[in-house]
Chains A and B, each alone.
Chain A
Amino acid sequence: MRPLPTAPLRTAVTQPFFIDLITRTDEARRGFETNPRVLQIVADGLSVERYRRLLLELYHVVWHFNPTCAAAASRLSDKHAEIRYFLYDHMMEEKGHEGWVANDLEVVGVSHSEVALYRPSNSILALNGYNYWSADRRHPCSVLGMLYALEVIASVYGGPIAAAIKESLLLEDDRGISFITSHITMDAEHMAELRLILNTIRDDESKVAITESATFNFEQFTRVLEAI
């Protein structure tokens, strides 16, 4: 008879980092998906005023996404060259996506000049500020934590949120929600690529920085949605 499983708890050492990251950030991810305001958006959608506010806030996340990745790429050592190349490719794919947000805003009545004048909330300033600081001063690999959190939010939760907004605002096709809907599929692809690159991470210092960043991004993005 096979002996009973009495081995000690499996830890990060014995499993790929992607699943370890999921486990370590499980509570923050669940905190996002079960936040009452997030649930309300999923259930009831948004008024046009709140949707405008959401997109205006998102614009600043998207606008600073590539510069944050660039800051991280420039500080990565050669031992993380593979991550640097991953970031180059990712930046190419994300280039210009702030324009998609601006186009959706135009559909719901916000002109490009109004977008340029919008001052993001303190929650967004804190989110972007943390991501720049973390890439620059904390550890450049932390940027992968930002990618992980944003791509989980887009690919896992983007669908229900987009569907609810579309219903509540009676939008046709993808008009006005093209940024969110296109990122559901796109970020599922990105998630598969991100998993592969995360599983190459071996050193604890990078793992800790990535975990911290993912946790912060989940929590701070929850604050952003709470405030709109």
Chain B
Amino acid sequence: MSATSVIPAALERPYKYLWLEWDQEFAVLTARICVKPIQCYSLAAMAELQQVFNDISANPGLVKHFVMASGAPGVFNFGGDLSLFVLLVRARDLDSLKLYARRCVDLVWWLENAAQVGVHTTALVQGDALGGGLESALLHHNVIFERNTQAGYPEVLFNLFPGMGAWHLTIRKGGFGIANDMILSGQIYTADQLQRAGLVDLVVDVGQGESALRKIVRSAHPRLRGTLTALQARRIAAPITYESLQSVVELWAVSALRLKDRDLRLMERLARAQVRKVGGAAEGAVEEIKRIELDTAWGFERTGLSEWSTLT
């Protein structure tokens, strides 16, 4: 792959939450998402990503490889916009929760069908990926994790579940047992554990993600037509339907609306932890999830931790 080239006019737009890079030699489009202060799938960021996908679909043959990466150091993506969920749940706004979920499914569906539009996809995960962040990574044909990355589905800790394809994708890549363990425990896993579970294709040392990506693109490019056809066949062998994704997100939206104050406070706690990390604190949402697991297992009194003591 060559150095970053000028973005083709058909793909260039004034994005606010995406940073696009273009490699002319292999027709690689890299989208780095950067949502401040919390790296998550905000409505605005999702709208921009959908626009990128629409532009790729509208220009067949222009983009041959799509790479999803992060523009935020140490974080790939923390998934859903938790403060938005709190707002919508408190407003009892089922319609908007469903709308948010449907937009996620539209993105999921495009990535799921990327081979069909002639695009080979890779997730370059160079930082923590939680909930929807992990779901979005697993959607890609290749999933590269740098070794210090941690990931999982913590939603069950606040009485929710990952609804935007987690069951489908985790079962497909890791099997039923792995999906059960991951989704029902809320546990966070290391990159190596996820590779052993079959969810991550390649784990590389910190800082080696970009060169691993180049190797994958160089190796796939000469046999791209065959690879894409094989990947389409893989979808036929292990299909995920739009209807089943929709059914799950409907259930997700209804269950989100049933969240109680305690659940919402935990969501707020995670969101604040991440904001603190962005502000320079050593620990963020992943460490906070581990504390919540401890709190839940032992009770606040026994650990000496409380919601507020963990903030200081």
Chain A interface (Cβ < 8 Å from any Cβ of B): 1-2, 4-10, 15-16, 18-19, 22-23, 26-27, 29-30, 33-34, 36, 39, 42-44, 152, 155-156, 159-160, 163-164, 167, 188, 191-192, 194-195
Contact = CB atoms under 8 A, between A and B. Distances in A.
A34 B37 CA distance: 7
B54 interface: yes
Given A18-B96, A195-B91, A6 B275 contact: no
A156 B87 contact: yes
A164 B275 CA distance: 17
Given A18-B96, A156-B90, A164-B308, A6 B54 contact: yes
B311 A16 contact: no
A2 B242 contact: yes
B92 A163 contact: no
Interface stretch (B43-51, B124-132, B198-206): B43-51
Interface residues of B, number: 48
Most buried by A among B47, B87, B242, B279: B87
Contacts of B272: 39, 42-43, 160
A23 B44 contact: yes
B268 interface: yes
Given A4-B109, A194-B91, A160 B268 contact: yes
B106 interface: yes
Contacts of B191: none
Contacts of B278: 34
Contacts of B116: 1, 4
Contacts of A44: 312
Which secondary structure dominates where chain A touches chain B? helix
Nearest to A166: B308
Interface in B24-47: 36-38, 42-44, 47
Contacts of A191: 87, 90-91
Interface string B240-277: 01100000000000000000010001001001100110
Contacts of A15: 99
Contacts of A8: 54
A26 B44 contact: yes
Nearest to A45: B308
A6 B59 CA distance: 11
Residue of B116, B242, B276, B308 with highest tally of chain A CB at under 10 A: B308
A211 to B, nearest CB: 14
